[in-house]
Structure 1
Amino acid sequence: MNRVVITGIGAVSPLGADVDAMMHGIELGKSAIRHMDGWDRYTGLKCLVGAPAQLIGEKEIPRTSRRSMGRMSIFSVQAAKQAIADAGIKNEIITSGRLGCIIGSTTGSAESLNDTFEKMLPEKDLTKLTSMKFFQCVSHTAAMNVAQYFGITGCVMATSAACASALQAAGAGYDLIRLGKQDAVLCGGAEDLHPTVAASFDILFATSTGYNNEPEKTPRPFDAKRDGLVCGEGSGILLLEEYEHALKRNARIYAEIIGYHTCGSGAHVSQSCKNSMAECFRQALADARIQAEDVDYINAHATATIHGDREEAEAIREVFGGLIPVSSLKGYMGHTLGASGAIELIASLIMMEKGCIYPTRNLESVSPDCDGILHVKKKLNKEINIIFKNAFAFGGINASIVCKKLI
């Protein structure tokens, strides 16, 4: 099989409009969590905090392209622009049919969906809608709009697995390249923030509700006082490329993807399952042909839900033991849902490059049910050769990817 490397990265996150801004915020220990004005008008919505990203420079995208894009598609195009520029890949490769695009999300643009229904349903009147609204609302809106914008004629796919979407997109791209079906693939995820998104998690008792007046203190992954997740938004895009193809271009290589696995739990629609998580870990390690002790850093999914953090910690402890550093990035920028796997993998690649691990923000006192693994509570300088990244989603969906530094 072909080897697969990462040669370009791009991100729009709650911490800033590019990768440098995001990493600067993490380095400073910043919180992007804010009290969301106007959310209190929704009766019954208990979580009033979120992690918004700024929409900057959207008019740089021509209106003829932008009119089919909701907020999340604009984020995706901006992140993809960054990844393409970072990789230095030429337009003739992008339009050759040998470069694909796989971008996932939970749904189509939540903002656009809400706007559509608010205009149509009260008076059952379709005359208030534009034809372009449809393209903002479909579940493949991000993948479709990025592919159209850049003229991509290779494989175009959209993963829709909620919080595992971006990591499944990277895994699918990895498989396409190692099987020789594409030379390169733009992979990642996107999401936009809207009170209806927070409400979906709120009614499942999954959101943080106790820190509405102290937003910087939540979410609290693995912490004894954690009380749920905080929704965020943005997009993370990685350019995956066949190794020899990258070498011929003299491309910068961030890391090689050496293993991936995704599986279901078949156990519960909304509760994580440590057994299926552990099996996902083992299969990803087997695909990478490494042992658990070879991993230098685990970037946890850890959204700060009571059940999810406990199950992930127990699965990590079972497979990896307690000697491999573990941290979560949700305390800095909330849970960017369908974008989170890509955004957090990008941050992990920068940690690998810098030789450091950033701590789990807001982790003050490790919860007894999350103990037994090596939590990073302050910045740790460490050589990182192998990263293990997790993502989990409602419906019992698990995904893990393994990346190795090229030495």
Structure 2
Amino acid sequence: MEDVFITGTSIISSFGNEKQTWEGILSGDNYPQQREYNLSNQEKLQYPVYQIEDDLIERINKQYSHITIREEFLRDDKDFKLLFLATLEALRNANLHLPNEKRIGLIIGHENLGVNPLIDSLLQEDNKMDIKNPINSFNHYKDKFFRLQTYTYLYYLAKLININGPTYAINNACASGQYALELANSLLKMNHADIVIVVAGDYAHFTEHLWLSEKGFSSNNGKLAPFTDTSSGSVLGDGVGAIILESETNISRRNAISKAKYINSSFSQDTWRINLPDVTTNSYEKVIKTSLSKYKGKPELVIPHGTGIPLWDKYESNGIKKAFESFRYSVPDVTAFKGYIGHTLGANSLIELILGINIFKNSVIPPITHRTINNSSEYDLPLVNTIIEKEVKSFIKTVAAYGGFNAATIIEKI
């Protein structure tokens, strides 16, 4: 089977586009802001988010004014708009013009496609529930309920960018991006497509913050610094990432330039608690070991999930250390990115993998944070605490996610 390569990438985060995100991470720390959510009873609620400002979305959108979102319900859907714009940015980055291509696949990774518009109707509009005639109530909300069927988002995004190959929408929580990449890899190697677009995003919603806070997710001091003694939890972030994968034959045909080589991914499923790892099965350690066993070398960098939730950071630290030591490897440098861009849920693993590709390009490893802090002795890892200038030829991106999803992906520099 042919090897699979990455030829295009894009990020939109609270810093800006991919270039601005990379430069922002190197220049200093970023902090969440309070986002306001208005209820139908005039109450105004706030929650912390690493925010993508509306004017940033509009600035990027103006670059693609020749492509019009005609469906009114999608124009104000920020989740869809971010997926759409990141896809166009990645296609431009790969120098791809889809009308000239024939076998293009599309995979969307997202945790709640269609959910937020329905929630907004229920929480922000006047009550339309009719207890005397339930059908009237349903008729008011029926279009939004219908759009909970995620294929509608696949259809409209595929239509906008002229996709004609296999399409999928997947939700594996925080690991969605890596599951999507492996699906894309399979489609290419099984010759079902020549090019596959993987795009994963999340626009942080108030109800996500509420639910996750109840599950022990949220920081109680507004700080997110993974693997440090100052972090008490995580903070949501808006974000979207997109990656273009191509077969070796197609890259040669169009004389494209590859950014990185996709090596392998490994996955496992825990079923103990939806918001807690099963420490008895060592599933996270095992997926890392599986990916390492299929790789001829040793990755030179680890990019873990790094949520800033102490229990999860300790679980990750232990799993990473044991996995590498089982091969008699020393653990390579470890860095994490959520302290800069927040936890972007279904988008996070794809965005952070793209940032790893930027490490290849620039031969620079950013620190976990630019703040002067003390790493907790409980995290026995070689954590990057200052900018390191060095060439990195491979990295492993790992995730231990809510829902019991464990993933490890190895990417290699060209």
| TM-aligned CA deviation for residue 349 of structure 1 | 0.3
Q: State which of 291, 302, 306 in structure 2 corresponds to 1:302.
A: 306
Give the structure 1 partner of residue 292 of structure 2: 285
Residue by residue over 1:229-249, the C-alpha shift from the partner in whole angstroms, topping out at 9 and shown as x without a partner, is: 101122101000002211221
Does residue 381 (structure 1) correspond to residue 389 (structure 2)? The answer is yes
Whether contact under 8 Å (2:316, 2:400) holds in the other structure is no
1:6-405 correspondence to structure 2 within 5 Å: 6-16=6-16, 18-38=17-37, 48-55=47-54, 56-57=57-58, 58=61, 60=65, 61-65=67-71, 67-68=73-74, 70-94=77-101, 96=102, 98-118=103-123, 119=125, 122-124=128-130, 125-126=137-138, 128-129=140-141, 131=143, 133-134=144-145, 137-140=148-151, 142-211=153-222, 218-273=223-278, 275-287=282-294, 289-291=295-297, 294-321=298-325, 322-361=330-369, 364-371=373-380, 373-405=381-413
Point out the structure with max Rg over C-alpha.
Answer: 2
| TM-aligned CA deviation for residue 136 of structure 1 | 5.5
Matched residue of 1:295: which SS? Answer: coil
Gaps of 5+ in 2: 131-136
Q: Quick one: structure 1 residues 23 and 144, their matched pair in 2 at CA, closer, same or farther if it must change by over 3 Å?
A: farther
Q: Quick one: structure 1 residues 148 and 120, their matched pair in 2 at CA, closer, same or farther if it must change by over 3 Å?
A: farther
Matched residue of 1:9: which SS? Answer: strand
Whether contact under 8 Å (2:113, 2:148) holds in the other structure is yes
Residue by residue over 1:189-212, the C-alpha shift from the partner in whole angstroms, topping out at 9 and shown as x without a partner, is: 11111110111110112111223x
Q: What CA distance in whole angstroms lies between the structure 2 residues aligned with 1:400 and 1:47?
A: 35
Q: Give the AA of the match of 2:35.
A: M
Q: What CA distance in whole angstroms lies between the structure 2 residues aligned with 1:357 and 1:155?
A: 36
Identity of aligned residues (%): 24
| TM-aligned CA deviation for residue 63 of structure 1 | 3.9
Q: What CA distance in whole angstroms lies between the structure 2 residues aligned with 1:330 and 1:225?
A: 14
Q: Quick one: structure 1 residues 246 and 318, their matched pair in 2 at CA, closer, same or farther if it must change by over 3 Å?
A: same
Q: Give the AA of the match of 1:75.
A: L
Matched residue of 1:344: which SS? Answer: helix
Q: Quick one: structure 1 residues 121 and 38, their matched pair in 2 at CA, closer, same or farther if it must change by over 3 Å?
A: closer
| TM-aligned CA deviation for residue 310 of structure 1 | 0.7
Residue by residue over 1:241-272, the C-alpha shift from the partner in whole angstroms, topping out at 9 and shown as x without a partner, is: 00221122121211000111111123332212
Q: How many residues align?
A: 390
Tell me the TM-score normalised to structure 2 length: 0.87
Give the structure 1 partner of residue 4 of structure 2: 4
Matched residue of 1:374: which SS? Answer: coil
Which is worse superposed, 149-158 or 273-282?
273-282
Q: What CA distance in whole angstroms lies between the structure 2 residues aligned with 1:149 and 1:209?
A: 42
Q: What CA distance in whole angstroms lies between the structure 2 residues aligned with 1:327 and 1:236?
A: 19
Gaps of 5+ in 1: 212-217
Q: What CA distance in whole angstroms lies between the structure 1 residues aligned with 2:167 and 2:187?
A: 11
Give the structure 2 partner of residue 214 of structure 1: none
Matched residue of 2:170: which SS? Answer: coil
Q: Quick one: structure 1 residues 285 and 48, their matched pair in 2 at CA, closer, same or farther if it must change by over 3 Å?
A: same
Tell me the TM-score normalised to structure 1 length: 0.88
